[in-house]
Amino acid sequence: MQCVRSLALLLLLVVKVHGDFVEPPQSHTSMRSLAESQTRLPCRYQPVEGEKVVQVTWYKELADGSKDQIITAHFSEGHTGFGRYSGRVKFESSSPTENSALLIPSTEESDEGIYICHISTSTHRHFERHITVTVLILPISTLDPVILKEGDSYRLAATCRAVGRPPPRLSWDSDLPGHSKKDIRQGGSVYSYFFLHPLRSMNGKKLDCLVWHPGLNGSHRISNLLEVQYPPDATITSVSGDWFVGLENAELVCDSGGNPKPQDFTWTRRGGALPDGVSLVGGKLIFGRTLRLNDSGVYECVAKNIAGVGKAEYSVTIAEFSQSKGFTNDQNLLLIVPGSLAAAAVVLVLIIAVLYHPHRNRKLERQLNKKTSRIPVNVNVIVQVKNSKRKQ
**Residue pLDDT, tens place only, 218-267:** 999 999 999 999 999 999 999 777 899 999 999 999 998 899 999 999 99
Q: Give the residue ranges of DSSP H helices in the chain.
A: 2-18, 329-356, 361-372, 380-391
- Give me the pLDDT at residue 324, please: 67
Q: Percent of the chain, pLDDT > 90? A: 69
Q: What is the pLDDT of residues 167-198, one digit of tens each?
A: 999 999 999 999 999 998 877 799 999 999 99
Q: Count CB atoms within 10 A of the CB of residue 122.
A: 13
* Confidence grade of residue 369 (pLDDT, cut at 50, 70, 90): low
Which three-class secondary structure state does DSSP give residue 33? Answer: strand
Q: What is the enclosing helix (H) or strand (E) of 69?
A: strand 67-74
Report d(CA 18, CA 119) in Å as an integer: 11
> From CA 61, how far away is CA 112, in angstroms rounded?
10
Residue 363: band (very low, low, confident or very high) from pLDDT cuts 50, 70, 90: low
Mean pLDDT of 213-217: 94
Q: Residue 139: in which H helix or E strand, if any? A: strand 126-145
| CA–CA distance, 239 with 126 (Å, rounded to integer) | 96
pLDDT 10s digits, 331-341: 444 444 444 44
3-state helix, strand, coil in the chain (%, to 5): 20, 40, 35
Give the DSSP H/E element, type plus range, for residue 120. Answer: strand 113-121
Burial of 234 (0-12, 13-18, 19+ CB in 10 A): buried
CB 152 within 8 A of CB 196: no
